[in-house]
Chain A
Amino acid sequence: MLTVATDSPVFPPWFEHNNPANGKGYESAVAYAIAAQLGFSKSQVQWAKEPFNNAYAPGPKKFDFDINEVSVTPQRATAVTFSNGYYDVQQALVALQNTPIVTKHSPADLKGYVFGDQVGTTSLAFINSKIQPTTQPKVFETLNDVKQALQTHQIAALVTDTPTAQFISADEIHHSVLVGQFPSTGEHYGLVFQQGNPLVGCVNKAIATLKGNGTLKSLQQQYLQDYLRVPVLQP
């Protein structure tokens, strides 16, 4: 058996219907594609629920790897082992229609808004290091809380990865818009392993194969293609 972990609830386009085991959504599909490369059939993959901030707890892990839009950073790599990237991330802005930020978002304008994001995401570092707003951003436990804060005007815009931003603006908050995405900072998502787990070697080979034979690209087109044509903003 191969045990793969992710958070609950999970959202499109990464997963669909909050059910990682249906093979739909980019991350679910990638997990099954990697499993197939390692020689596991679909029935030999089981899913574990692992909240984001439990995934790096010390001690034995209850999963072989965790797939949960975790960005790879050098500091994090001292606590867990990461696979090579399976998706390159860009940060994007979502705001409510007819609010000032939709039209006024020059780098100087952006500094004046109140931003919000989910705790533990690399978005907060992005906001503080690139946008450098004058007001401290608000940081919420879950993405749902961030969306709630946006709808109740407690924040001017939320910052999250582009596919999630696209999903929120297109399907979740009807009167919201994806203002645009910021240029890539080289950030990418990796799978999380227990520190020193040798399985990572085989998984990296699998990811390399999936990249080489175009599987990752076609999965991105299948699940994320709507999300890749977005205007670029300068922070």
Chain B
Amino acid sequence: MDDSQPDPGASAGGYLPPGEFIGGAGIPGTFAAAGRGPRLLSGGGRRATALSTASTLVVLAILAAVFLLAPGSKEVRHTFFSPHDMWQSLVGNPRQGYYSVGSALWLNIRMFLIAEVLILILALVLALIRQSSGPVLFPLRILTTVYVDFFRGVPLILVIFAIGFGVPALSLGFISLQSAAVYGVLALVLTYSAYVSEVYRAGLNSVHRSQVAAARSLGLSQQAALRHVILPQAVRTIIPPLLNDFISLQKDTALVGILGAIEANKAAEIFSDTVFNYSSYTVAAIFFLLLTIPLARFTDHLIERDRRRRLAGATQ
């Protein structure tokens, strides 16, 4: 918001109580005009911006000073942020006993992409079965309820162990000869589908029953109503929580390392245990941040777009 617009906080004495930073943008009409939602730093004019910038800098400076002046600072900086070790772990050197954290990340990305697609499909099937009403499907509904309860309740790490060591031990030929990454993806899909099916279910429940009635009265079959009327509305509602689960999934691919697959976190652990320096974990953390932040910003963007659309619909 710029200074030319009416600002109740500024005119009331130039000083804004904290609540007004957000409230200032809540004037009727400014949503549509600005086309954006309430922002943390909008409203309050230049003085508030300067104040918030100054306070942010002071807080950062204090944190930096505490970190740099602490008695063990040098040791901690060497152990976690040594540029030499960060570089070594980034490029890797198998003959010295460690692998590149950067190339190991490619395994995380592949596992994430494949798991994500499979989860979206399996979770939708689970949610549709749980939401079905036919009496014939009753046993399936019970089964999916048990499935969801089970996989939401058992720690993911146990599922990974059980699949990763259990399936090969069964000696089922081809099925028992897959790589650790395959078993890891399977475990991730089993567990995450249980969570995501509940997200789908919430979305399906959020579509008003009258929508089904309207679709059926237009002559659409049950399946066509689901496909063209219910699901599009349900999925739009759940995109933010879905993406939230996928941000979490990106990081949980690191758990597959316990099966012996060398993904980014495992590569970092191998490096640190080999040369006794944790800087490799910092490298892995930076990579995971680089992966998850774009997805988080994209989620924000979708939430914002969806909110705008709804508000636009409400005033028409």
Contact = CB atoms under 8 A, between A and B. Distances in A.
What does DSSP make chain B's interface, helix, strand, loop or mixed?
Answer: helix
Interface in A151-194: 151-155
B314 to A, nearest CB: 54
B175 to A, nearest CB: 12
B168 A153 contact: yes
B258 A124 contact: no
Contacts of A80: 276
A164 to B, nearest CB: 17
Interface centre among A52, A53, A79, A145 (most CB of B within 10 A): A79
Given A119-B266, A152-B165, A145 B260 contact: yes
B128 to A, nearest CB: 36
Contact of B274 (A120, A151, A153, A154): A120
Interface stretch (A28-36, A134-142, A202-210, A220-228): A134-142
A229 B268 CA distance: 36
B95 interface: yes
Given A57-B79, A120-B269, A152 B168 contact: yes
A101 B271 CA distance: 29
A122 B95 CA distance: 10
A149 B260 contact: yes
A53 B96 contact: no
Contact of A136 (B72, B262, B278): B262
A145 B160 CA distance: 13
Interface in B149-171: 165, 168-169, 171
B165 A75 contact: no
Nearest to B73: A58
B168 A154 contact: yes
Interface residues of B, number: 34
B244 to A, nearest CB: 29
A78 interface: yes
B81 to A, nearest CB: 11
Interface string B84-110: 000000000011111100000000000
A58 B258 contact: no
B261 interface: yes
A209 B277 CA distance: 33
Contacts of A151: 169
B168 A76 contact: no
B22 interface: no
A78 B276 contact: yes
A128 B273 contact: no
A210 B258 CA distance: 40
Given A59-B72, A120-B270, A76 B260 contact: no
A37 B29 CA distance: 84
Given A52-B273, A53-B273, A128-B95, A79 B165 contact: no
Nearest to A138: B260
Interface string A114-129: 0010011110111011
Given A75-B275, A79-B277, A152-B168, A128 B97 contact: yes
Contact of A125 (B96, B169, B261, B276): B96
A125 B274 contact: yes
B168 A122 contact: no
Given A119-B270, A125-B97, A151-B169, A79 B260 contact: no
A148 interface: yes
B10 interface: no
Contacts of B266: 119, 139
Contacts of B272: 53, 120
B168 A120 contact: no
9 contacts: A57-B79, A57-B278, A73-B274, A75-B276, A79-B277, A126-B97, A128-B97, A140-B259, A152-B165
For the complex of A and B, the 8 pairs showing the least CB-CB separation, nearest first, are A120-B273, A125-B97, A138-B260, A79-B276, A56-B276, A152-B168, A129-B95, A128-B94
Interface of A: 52-53, 56-59, 73, 75-76, 78-80, 116, 119-122, 124-126, 128-129, 136, 138-141, 145, 148-149, 151-155
